[in-house]
Structure 1
Amino acid sequence: MIDVTERIAASPEQVWAVLATGWTYSGWVVGASHVRAVDPGWPAVGTRVHHSVGPWPLVTNDATEVLGVEPGRWLELDARLWPFGAARVRLELSATDGGTGSGTGGGTDVLMSEQVVRGPAALLPKPLQAALLIPRNRESLSRLADLAAAGVGSRQP
């Protein structure tokens, strides 16, 4: 697994609200350009976000499925991008200093772990995978931080 951690100045509840709202997926996942549909019950195990990836006109339609979840604590996904492959992604939330996000040092540490598990991208050497995934995942967590701080997800569409 390739790990990236970000300290977010928002409570774990605020961060979870973004993750638990499937329609926000393209707002924080680098490369996802559009959410086409979200299965009812997201983020229950087996539910999916149906998304598009890539710039127009080179858009590919695919889906990301929930493999495991402990609401408010962690979310594990099977993120697909064919023809390149698929990755297992795990996001873990940990409160810091009470997790208040009040600007007094509280907030949430988010650990994002990713491992390419299928497809041609799985054949890349681990150092090359890390060189590609670490900057991408740092940007994804930065976007997640912005959405959580803005209260996105707490207002359902």
Structure 2
Amino acid sequence: MIEIGITVEVPIDEAFATLTDGWLYSSWVVGASHIRAVDPEWPAVGSRIHHSVGPWPLTMQDHTTVRAVQQPYQLELEARLWPFGAAYIRLRLHEEGPGRTRIEMAEKAVKGPGVLVPDRVQGVLLTPRNRESLHRLADLINGRADKGSGVR
């Protein structure tokens, strides 16, 4: 898996809180178009975000499940989009200093036709999408930290 990252100027707990707000996923995950429901226990292991993917009216409905969580350092997910398969996604957070957090993201197909694609090719194909997702996540994190005061 190719891992990419971004740094935000907020404490790790604030970054993790935004990352684990299931209702925000369609705001930063490229391809997710609508969050239909978030299990009340999210982000506990086994809990789910029920989402739609794709442009309306061609959306497909599925879900993403928490596979592991270590607050505020790591979140592991399995994102499904049947009949295309499922992906394993790992998000790791590292405190780089006071009020500064590094977020790293890695993704790999684990079910369906995508597993036939070599890891290196998956990495090349997923990197631009994941980079954009991390930039969107960083904007949300920074915006929440600014309390809506505008552009930093």
The corresponding residue for 2:118 is: 125
The corresponding residue for 2:137 is: 144
Structure 2: distance between partners of 1:14 and 1:140: 18
The corresponding residue for 2:18 is: 18
> 1:80: Cα distance to partner?
0.8
| Equivalent position to 1:135, from 99, 116, 128 | 128
The corresponding residue for 1:30 is: 30
May I ask how many residue pairs the two structures share in their alignment?
146
Contact 1:10 1:145 in 2 (8 A): no
**What stretches of structure 1 of length at least 5 have no aligned partner?**
101-106
TM-score computed with the length of structure 1 as normaliser: 0.88
Task: Extract structure 1 runs of 4+ deviating beyond 6 A.
Answer: none
The corresponding residue for 1:44 is: 44
SS at 2:7 equivalent: strand
Contact 2:108 2:119 in 1 (8 A): no
> 1:10: Cα distance to partner?
2.2
The corresponding residue for 1:78 is: 78
Percent of aligned positions that are identical: 53
Q: CA RMSD in A?
A: 1.4
> 1:128: Cα distance to partner?
2.4
Contact 2:44 2:69 in 1 (8 A): yes
Structure 2: distance between partners of 1:26 and 1:128: 26
Structure 1: distance between partners of 2:80 and 2:2: 17
Structure 2: distance between partners of 1:127 and 1:68: 24
SS at 2:92 equivalent: strand
SS at 1:61 equivalent: strand
Structure 2: distance between partners of 1:62 and 1:2: 25
> 1:14: Cα distance to partner?
1.8
TM-score computed with the length of structure 2 as normaliser: 0.91
**What stretches of structure 2 of length at least 5 have no aligned partner?**
148-152
Contact 2:85 2:110 in 1 (8 A): yes
